[in-house]
A and B are shown apart, each in its own frame.
Chain A
Amino acid sequence: MSLIPDNLFGIHTRALDLWQNRTEVLANNLANADTPGFQARDIDFRKVLAAASDSAGTAGNVALQAPTPGQIGAGSTTAAATQLSWRNPMQPSMDGNTVDEQVEQAAFAANGVHYQASLSFITAQIRMLRTAITDGQG
């Protein structure tokens, strides 16, 4: 993501990053659907995206650097990791597992569509740029 200048594709690259993170979290929930005591997690997309675009997106803000290993940076990924929240189970089970397979599946499907939406926005942006570069001939 960092190779692409952020102002070229706007917020969509960040959104893509977050959808991808969320896919990972949901996949982990589904993999642990039968693990006793496992608590399902999710990302509050709106909150994390707002935080991500606040911390690094606006001009004039200097992001924290983490030059030595072990130091905690203030990148958008750290923000996403710390803002994982626990899912409220609809039907808590006796073994303490809070994964609701149907809910997770629905969230996973919706998440995939959102991811593709972000991709289409970026694709449209690329087409627009290509039209500009090739003077409408390409």
Chain B
Amino acid sequence: MSLFSIFNVAGSGMAAQSTRLNTVASNLANADSVASTPEAAYRSREPLFAAVQKQFGSQAVDNGQGVQVLGVTESQAAIPSRYEPGNPLANADGYVFSSNVNPVDELVNMISASRSYQNNVEVMNSTRQLMQKTLDLGK
């Protein structure tokens, strides 16, 4: 019920977006990782966002409490396999299993996350200015 809570809201947004940037970085770094079984292959990760609901029965005004990361999901897309008998990780048939990361998806995700992050930074900056102006009231 004050401008201070906006710092929490914008902060939760920034934390969520940085989690997203983290998964993007991890996905891009592992885009070319290989494994000898499909189960061990790297799967593309993505965070799951949800709005924070107000506590039941709390007296606080429900203007929204920000966003939270419920968890990180792994992509269920098919794991591609390659015939590379010379690879030390190849299985008995000579196949290696690479990650199902789609670099184009990841780059789009990265741009979207960084834009949203900047949005939240702007919100925080504007709020800070408004609070400063309020403190200067009557001068």
A residues neighboring B (CB under 8 Å): 20-21, 23-36, 38, 41, 69-70, 77-78, 80-81, 84, 101, 105, 108-109, 112, 115-116, 119, 122-123, 126-127
* B6 touching A77, Cβ below 8 Å: no
Number of A-B contacts (CB under 8 A): 105
Number of interface residues of B (CB under 8 A): 41
Main secondary structure of the interface of A (DSSP, over half): helix
**15 CB-based A-B contacts, threshold 8 Å:** A23-B3, A24-B3, A28-B51, A30-B116, A30-B123, A31-B66, A31-B67, A32-B67, A34-B112, A69-B59, A70-B57, A77-B61, A108-B126, A112-B126, A127-B138
Contact partner of B10 among A27, A80, A127, CB < 8 A? Answer: A27
Stretch at the interface among B28-36, B80-88, B129-137: B129-137
A34 contacts B9, CB within 8 Å? no
Tell me which residues across on chain B come within 8 A of A122, comparing CB atoms: 137-138
